[in-house]
């Protein structure tokens, strides 16, 4: 078990190294002068030349990568063209908002994805199953911006019960920054009015962001549980007269989670990138919205740093998923 963890760790480190090389090459070899693209066509040549020197663009490509990755390990990703601040400071400022959104979306996805999957298994072949499968299909094939616009029209305009933008209301003061996540910081302050206000602002984008993951989790959970329900141990449990809900939630759900956990972990990691559209529609000041603005303004420093961070998130989630599946499935644990 320990040897497998160590092996997986080094494999993921190699993947991260490959990702960093890929990001560096894409940023450096894109058509045109990287420094000129970053600063714009009207910037004086002396300023552009200074940026070329800072980015070591006159050096060979392998030296440029060495300087870039060395600075990245030190937390130096350069100065953002948009904010004129160090990129790391921007990431520290915007990432907690996205992390809070993704965490709430992940909780919603896990709870409702598994619950709908179990209910679909319980009522397999009945109208309840058909309705859940139809909703799941719509959730998979429909883009996030469609649900974002629909939710905004429904709950912010036709039935105005939720705010449509921002993290808190204009009359609220932000909490003292401890984690950067408003809900947690308000709880630590004991400001429950702030907690409620933050939840009202975040709940709609969190549900929209989680909808695709809920649909995927429900479909895969149903498929795995339906397959396991026909196995000998499940048939024996039904024969002994064990209540169906106990069989579904206690004996069938756990061995059916391997595929679901893998998909949900990737969905949670993908939420960080998938938040681009959701944050833009709801005017939510998170990292994804910041990165989108950086892309539109050709801020190569910010884009490369955020993409590298997204890669790290994917790798960490994959690593944790491998560990979780090993714990959940004794066959994998003992085979190692």
Q: How does pLDDT run across 183-239, given as a tens digit for each residue? A: 999 999 888 998 999 999 999 999 998 888 898 888 888 888 888 887 887 788 888
Cβ–Cβ < 8 Å for 182, 194: yes
Report pTM. 0.84
Greater confidence (31 vs 277) lies with 277
CB-count exposure of residue 212 (10 Å: 0-12, 13-18, 19+): buried
Share of the chain above pLDDT 70, in %: 93
Q: Which two tokens stand for residue 235?
A: 């048939």
Give 312-334 pLDDT, tens digit per residue: 888 888 778 777 777 766 555 55
Buried/exposed code over 128-162 (b: 16+ C-beta within 10 A; e: otherwise):
ebeebbebbeebeeeebeebbeebbeebbeeeeeb
Q: What is the DSSP letter of 157?
A: I
pLDDT for position 111: 92
According to the per-residue pLDDT averaged within each range, which of 38-52, 191-205, 235-249, 285-299 is highest? 191-205
Give 59-95 pLDDT, tens digit per residue: 888 888 888 888 888 888 888 877 888 888 888 888 9
**Whether pLDDT at 278 is above 60:** yes
Please list the residues that pair with 79 across neighbouring strands.
Answer: 86
pLDDT for position 202: 92
Q: Residue 270: which H helix or E strand, with range? A: helix 257-281
Cβ–Cβ < 8 Å for 201, 168: yes
In angstroms, the first-to-last Cα distance of the chain is 6
d(CA 80, CA 75): 14
- Cα torsion 190, 196, 202, 203 to 10°: value is 130
């Amino acid at each position: 078990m320990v040897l497998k963890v160590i092996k997986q760790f080094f494999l993921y480190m190699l993947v991260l190294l490959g990702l960093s090389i890929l990001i560096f090459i894409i940023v450096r070899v894109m058509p045109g002068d990287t420094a000129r693209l970053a600063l714009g066509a009207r910037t004086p040549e002396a300023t552009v030349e200074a940026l070329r020197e800072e980015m070591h663009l006159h050096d060979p490509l392998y030296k440029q990568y060495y300087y870039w990755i060395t600075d990245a390990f030190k937390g130096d990703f350069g100065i953002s063209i948009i904010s004129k601040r160090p990129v790391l400071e921007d990431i520290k400022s915007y990432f907690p908002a996205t992390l809070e959104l993704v965490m709430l979306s992940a909780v919603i996805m896990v709870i409702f994805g598994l619950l709908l999957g179990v209910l679909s298994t319980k009522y397999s072949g009945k109208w309840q199953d058909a309705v859940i499968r139809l909703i799941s299909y719509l959730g998979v094939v429909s883009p996030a911006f469609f649900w974002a616009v629909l939710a905004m029209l429904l709950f912010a305009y036709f039935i105005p019960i939720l705010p449509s933008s921002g993290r808190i209301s204009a009359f609220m003061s932000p909490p003292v920054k401890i984690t950067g996540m408003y809900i947690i910081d308000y709880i630590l302050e004991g400001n429950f009015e702030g907690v409620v206000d933050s939840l009202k602002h975040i709940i709609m984008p969190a549900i929209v962001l989680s909808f695709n993951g809920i649909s995927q989790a429900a479909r895969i959970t149903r498929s795995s549980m339906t397959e396991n329900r026909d196995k000998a141990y499940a048939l024996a449990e039904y024969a002994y007269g064990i209540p169906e809900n106990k069989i579904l939630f206690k004996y069938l759900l756990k061995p059916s989670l391997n595929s679901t956990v893998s998909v949900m972990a990737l969905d949670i990691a993908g939420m960080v990138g998938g938040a681009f559209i959701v944050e833009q529609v709801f005017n939510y000041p998170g990292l994804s919205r910041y990165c989108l603005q950086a892309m539109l303004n050709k801020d190569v420093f910010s884009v490369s740093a955020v993409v590298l961070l997204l890669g790290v998130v994917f790798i960490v989630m994959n690593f944790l998923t491998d560990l979780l599946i090993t714990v959940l499935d004794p066959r994998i644990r003992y085979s190692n």
